[in-house]
Amino acid sequence: MKLSKIALILCLMFFVCVGTGFAAETRLTGSFSGVGTKECTNAPGFNSDYSATGPAWNVSGTLVFVYTFHPNGTGTAQIADTTSGILPYEGGVYAAYGTGSFSFTYTLNDGNITITVPSLTLQVTEGTGGSYTLTVTPGPTFVGAVSSDGNTITLTTSGLQVGTITPSTGGGGQSICLLTAILKR
C-alpha cells in the first residue's frame, strides 16, 4: 500500500511537470543564436501619427544575433547587421555592414516573452559613409514566444516604435523598424 502511494505521487508529479513544460518558467538562462530581418523607414523625424517630418527612405537588412539570458531578468546581445536601401537624394544608394551589442531586460510569462532594449550601439565598418558608430535610443521592444522545450524563441517588434539615430559623424534622425528574429539554444 505504501509503495503504491509513493508511485501515485511520483506519477502525478511527473504529469504535472510534463504538462506545464517550459511555459511555467519565469526565467531563461544561457545563450541563444539566430537570424532576423529588418525593414526600417528613416526620416529627419516623425509626427505623433508616424508621418515623416521630411524626406523619408526605407532600408532593409539581415541580422545575426547571439542573446545571452541571465536568470535575474537581464541579458546581453551581440549583433551583426547588413543593411541596404535607396536614399532620397542624388547618388542615394546605401549599403553598410556593422557589428554591435546591447543590454536588455526581459520578462517571461506562460511562454510569452518581452525584451526591452534601452539603447543599442552599432560600429559600422564597411559601406556608404565609411566607418562610424551608430546609436539608437530607445532600442526596440520585442514580444514573442518561447517553445515548450525552452530551446527556441521567436521575436518581433511590439507595434510601431520610433528610435532616435545618432551617428558619430553628426546629423541623425529617427527610424521606425519592424524586426523579426528566430533564436535557437
Q: Write the pLDDT tens digit of every residue in 154-179.
A: 999 999 999 999 999 888 999 999 99
| CB-based contacts of 139, cutoff 8 Å, min separation 6 | 102, 104, 116, 117, 118, 119, 120, 163
72 vs 23, residue with greater confidence? 72
Q: Is 8 a domain residue?
A: no
| Residue 93 forms part of a structural domain | yes
| Predicted pLDDT at 130 | 81
Provide mean pLDDT across the span 105-119.
96
Residues 184, 152: Cα–Cα separation, whole Å: 5
What is the count of structural domains for the chain?
A: 1
The pLDDT value recorded for residue 4 is 42
Domain of 157 in residue numbering reads as 24-184
Whether 167 is in a domain gets the answer: yes
